[in-house]
Amino acid sequence: MSDEPVKFLLTERDIPTHWINLLPDLPGEPLPPLNPATKEPAGPGDLTPIFPMGLIQQEVSPEPEVEIPEEVREVYKLWRPTPLYRARRLERALDTPARIYYKYEGVSPAGSHKPNTAVAQAYENAKAGIRKLCTETGAGQWGSALAFACQEFGLECEVFMVGSSYDQKPYRRSMMETWGASVHRSPSDVTEAGRSQASHPTGSLGIAISEAVEIAAQDEGTNYSLGSVLNHVLLHQTVIGQEAIAQLEQAGDEPDVVIGCVGGGSNFAGIAYPFVRRVLRDGARTRFLAAEPAACPTLTRGVYRYDFGDTVGMTPLMPMFTLGHDFVPPPVHAGGLRYHGDAPSLCGLVKAGLVEARAYKQNETFEAAVRFARTEGIIPAPEPAHAIKAVMDEAQAAKDAGDQRVILFGLCGHGNFDLAAYDAYLSGTLEDPEFSEADMEEALGRLPDVPVPA
Ligand SMILES: Cc1ncc(COP(=O)(O)O)c(C=O)c1O
């Protein structure tokens, strides 16, 4: 056996004690969210009907670090720290001089990075005396994560699952129910928002968010919980990048490029923001690459505007790249990436040229995922398959240039519940649904009437 290490491991004592808040390091003043009714800057008071104060404080915190409560770190111990792998077998198969590392979040109970924030959110809500959390789920990963986290802190959990995912992944529903959650197919007939969208039977994240927010807004004991996009969600995910920094130190490497897939931006921020802070503070020269689906190309084809986070228009308006809040993306298997907008901080970094975005078609991402599975063993979720496609392009570019670049990417979840998608790919029936420019233009025509952010 060679003594070349493949896994870089930390102990439970190395679980980060703080989350990293990138906002104070970002250049310029942050653009405020706007109240959806008045279109005036939204304050903490606008969020109290659906979020606990502990999370609102994290959302607007000016502190560069936020302490992780002990109770949350105790639950993190169930799967954190997660392993960092050197993808030696993939490197050999690609015949590349690049050194490829991946941080694997699929070891969590729900199988992805989502429990990093679900646990923190369930804790703050339980502390505030909330009885039930209500949410949406696209891929089923976020709903599973929140169902698990609610169990840990004695909360009820109600989930609106995007119709196309509900049909493709029945065992994600079983998983959520095993952790005690109740699950609706969205659009459902239990909310006004759902009934108003019955003509879109495949659903979308935007529609499911509207349904969950509606339920939470009507009941004092119920709060809403979001699995991406908001500052506090991205904050919670920074345990990923902090651990990766320590693990790469063990490996004696520094990344030249950090790659992640983007649905709303949380796993990307989780792995990248601790490295972005080093670029902003210390002039490190790391590059950052965000991978998204060509069928829902928010960062590469969207417009930079204030828009709602949901379809029906109940959430605050956020400055972001958007395809239009009521744009319904075609039903690709990467359900977690079917979102019309992205986190405002990430959109700001893309706009400033600090993060580069690339869009990939469904078949090419599955081709990359299968190649990864046949070398490294792990079957990736369809979402990080987009990051893997970007990694393979970078590895090829390194080979063409004859340079030994170091690539770090986030393998944010496994695809063990996504085998219907793999079946379709392997049997040659997987489609590459076209992104409709005309549908986007139509949806952009319905953007709220507020000035375009500078
Ligand atoms: C495995 C996986 N990866 C990525 C995403 C996309 O979300 P985000 O961009 O917030 O990481 C999801 C969302 O559901 C997911 O389940």
3-state secondary structure labels for all residues of the chain: CCCCCCEECCCHHHCCCEEECCHHHCCCCCCCCECCCCCCECCHHHHCCCCCHHHHHHHCCCCCEEECCHHHHHHHCCCCCCCEEECHHHHHHHCCCCEEEEEECCCCCCCECCHHHHHHHHHHHHHCCCCEEEEEECCCHHHHHHHHHHHHCCCEEEEEEEHHHHHHCHHHHHHHHHCCCEEEEECCCCCHHHHHCCCCCCCCHHHHHHHHHHHHHHCCCEEECCCCCCHHHHHHCCHHHHHHHHHHHHHCCCCCEEEEECCCCHHHHHHHHHHHHHHHHHCCCCEEEEEEECCCCHHHHCEEEEEECCCCCCCCEEEEEECCCCCCCCCCCCHHHCCCCCCHHHHHHHHCCCCEEEEECHHHHHHHHHHHHHHHCCCECHHHHHHHHHHHHHHHHHHHHCCCCEEEEEECEECCCCHHHHHHHHCCCCCCCCCCHHHHHHHHCCCCCCCCCC
Nearest CA to ligand 1 atom 15: 336
Give me ligand 1 centre to Cα 359, in Å.
Answer: 15
Nearest CA to ligand 1 atom 3: 383
pLDDT reported for residue 454: 76
pLDDT (tens digit per residue) in 153-187: 999 999 999 998 899 889 999 999 999 999 999 99
Cβ atoms < 10 Å from Cβ of 223: 25
CB 5 within 8 A of CB 56: no
Give me ligand 1 centre to Cα 114, in Å.
Answer: 7
Nearest CA to ligand 1 atom 7: 263
Give me ligand 1 centre to Cα 89, in Å.
Answer: 26
At CB < 8 A and 24+ separation, what contacts does 195-198 make? Answer: 196/312, 197/311, 197/312
pLDDT reported for residue 139: 83
Distance, in Å, from the CA atom of 190 to the CA atom of 62, rounded to the nearest integer, reads: 39
Tell which atom from ligand 1 comes closest to the C-alpha of 227. 10
Give the chain's residues under pLDDT 70.
none
Substitution site in 104, 114, 166, 226 for ligand 1 pocket (most atoms within 8 Å of beta carbon):
114
Give me ligand 1 centre to Cα 169, in Å.
Answer: 15
Give me ligand 1 centre to Cα 236, in Å.
Answer: 14
Cβ atoms < 10 Å from Cβ of 416: 13
pLDDT (tens digit per residue) in 349-378: 999 999 999 999 999 999 999 999 999 999
Give me ligand 1 centre to Cα 267, in Å.
Answer: 6
Nearest CA to ligand 1 atom 1: 413
pLDDT reported for residue 43: 87
What phi and psi, each to the nearest 5 degrees, are found at residue 209?
Answer: -65, -45
Tell which atom from ligand 1 comes closest to the C-alpha of 263. 9
Distance, in Å, from the CA atom of 206 to the CA atom of 380, rounded to the nearest integer, reads: 25
Substitution site in 412, 414, 417, 418 for ligand 1 pocket (most atoms within 8 Å of beta carbon):
412
pLDDT reported for residue 147: 98
Give me ligand 1 centre to Cα 383, in Å.
Answer: 6
pLDDT reported for residue 30: 84
* Residue ranges lining ligand 1, Cβ < 6 Å: 112, 138-139, 141-142, 228, 261-268, 336-337, 381, 383-384, 412-413
Give me ligand 1 centre to Cα 40, in Å.
Answer: 30
Substitution site in 337, 350, 389 for ligand 1 pocket (most atoms within 8 Å of beta carbon):
337
Give me ligand 1 centre to Cα 258, in Å.
Answer: 17
